[in-house]
């Protein structure tokens, strides 16, 4: 396992701030391919493995309709929350509507807002959900209903907490909804590094898109990321980085098509978080996609970014 290669810390000097709510999990039909249990299991894993402490777990409030309306249309918000979306619109999302899913969705968006606020306070903070980057202003897509990255950006900007934001999206799928929302906004820089031949078939235009060939491995992936990351930080000079740390780039992911290993993912997380933190840019992490059949392996994979974040905070 990866921890044969990564030294494990023994003393937590500064507990990693993480965000979690029991509402992050709601029932789905049996055999649905969206791995809903992973959010609760990730929270439990982080505590059991002493990646953080119970006192450093923050519980978010639900995002308000007014906050959602900073990004999404009133018609779409109302239709989704009331369960009156058309069957076609529901199929595009890929998750069956329920009151529990509405609660889960709005709580997870609230969780990313809280994670960003904690990042501004502590330097790094991690959500145990989030990364719904396929949601557009007036429709959802690809398991994404409301765009937590975009809503968080607008909430913090409106409150005067930040001016300029960099979104680093390393999920295997392009952050098409996020790209469209901020396409002509100079205050938000969108960077998406994704598998070229994967969903969505119709890509949007981010400020910087880096399409990757199918089957790319650790060394090739990390070399490409290292070519772009330092220049991004020095040119954008963000007040906050929102980092979508999707693990569907893993070789064992059902929806991936890239070939990163666990250790490659950990090296990626260290590269992103250390680069941001060392340069003085607060970074808020969301977990993004991950669809492996082995749920325990998937949870451990999502936890890599939390482990990397805690190692950096412990060393500071």
Q: Give Dmax over CA atoms of the chain in angstroms.
A: 52
What confidence score (pLDDT) does residue 315 get? 87
The number of domains in the chain is 1
Phi, psi of 151 (to 5 degrees): -65, -45
Both structure tokens of 69: 């309306």
- 219: in domain: yes
Closest CA to 147 of 168, 175, 118, 166: 175
102-126 b/e (C-beta count within 10 Å ≥ 16 → b): bbbbbbbbbbbbbbbbbbeebbbbb
CA end-to-end span of the chain: 27
Question: Is 8 inside a domain boundary?
Answer: no
CA distance 213 to 259: 10
Q: What is the mean pLDDT of the chain?
A: 95
* pLDDT 10s digits, 205-253: 999 999 999 999 999 999 999 999 999 999 999 999 999 999 999 999 9
Alpha-carbon Rg for the chain, nearest whole angstrom, is: 18
Q: Which residues are catalytic?
A: 134
For the entire predicted model, the pTM comes to 0.95
Residue 15 lies in a domain: no
Q: Where does residue 235 rank: exposed (0-12), middle (13-18), buried (19+ CB within 10 A)? A: exposed
* Contacting residues for 89 by C-beta, under 8 A, at least 6 apart: 79, 139, 140
Q: Is residue 139 part of a domain?
A: yes
Q: Residue 281 and residue 256: Cα distance in Å, rounded?
A: 29
In a domain, residue 290? The reply is: yes
**pLDDT tier, 316 (very low <50, low <70, confident <90, very high otherwise):** confident
70 pLDDT band (50/70/90 cuts)? Answer: very high
Tell whether 95 is covered by a domain: yes
State how far Cα 188 lies from the chain centre. 16
Structural domain includes residue 159: yes
Q: Which helix (H) or strand (E) holds 9?
A: none
pLDDT for 1 equals 45
Q: Which residues, in sequence order, are CB contacts of 106 under 8 Å at separation 6+?
A: 62, 63, 68, 81, 146
Which CATH number characterizes residue 198's domain?
3.40.800.20
Residues of the domain holding 92: 37-315
Domain-embedded: residue 62: yes
């Amino acid at each position: 396992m990866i921890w044969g290669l990564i030294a494990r810390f023994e003393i937590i000097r500064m507990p990693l701030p993480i965000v979690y709510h029991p509402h992050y999990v709601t029932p789905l039909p049996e055999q649905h391919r969206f791995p809903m249990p992973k959010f609760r299991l990730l929270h439990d894993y982080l505590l059991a493995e002493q990646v953080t402490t119970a006192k450093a777990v923050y519980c978010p409030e639900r995002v308000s309709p007014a906050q959602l309306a900073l990004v999404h249309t009133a018609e779409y918000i109302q239709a989704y929350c009331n369960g009156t979306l058309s069957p076609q619109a529901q199929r595009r999302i890929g998750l069956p509507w329920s009151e529990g899913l509405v609660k889960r969705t709005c709580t997870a968006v609230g969780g990313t807002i809280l994670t960003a606020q904690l990042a501004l306070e502590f330097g790094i903070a991690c959500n145990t959900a989030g990364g719904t980057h396929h949601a557009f202003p007036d429709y959802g897509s690809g398991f994404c209903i409301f765009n937590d990255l975009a809503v968080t950006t607008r909430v913090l900007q409106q409150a005067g907490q930040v001016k300029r934001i960099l979104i680093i999206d390393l999920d295997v799928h392009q952050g098409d909804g996020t790209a469209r929302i901020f396409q002509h906004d100079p205050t938000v820089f969108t960077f998406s590094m994704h598998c070229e031949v994967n969903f969505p078939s119709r890509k949007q235009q981010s400020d910087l898109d880096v399409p990757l060939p199918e089957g790319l491995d650790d060394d090739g992936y990390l070399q490409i990321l290292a070519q772009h990351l330092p220049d991004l930080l020095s040119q954008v000079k963000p007040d906050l980085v929102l980092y979508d740390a999707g693990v569907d780039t893993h070789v064992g992911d059902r929806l991936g098509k890239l070939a990163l290993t666990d250790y490659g993912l950990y090296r990626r997380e260290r590269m992103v978080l250390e680069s941001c933190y060392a340069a003085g840019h607060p970074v808020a992490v969301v977990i993004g996609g991950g669809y492996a059949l082995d749920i325990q392996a998937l949870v451990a994979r999502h936890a890599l970014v939390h482990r990397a974040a805690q190692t950096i905070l412990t060393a500071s």
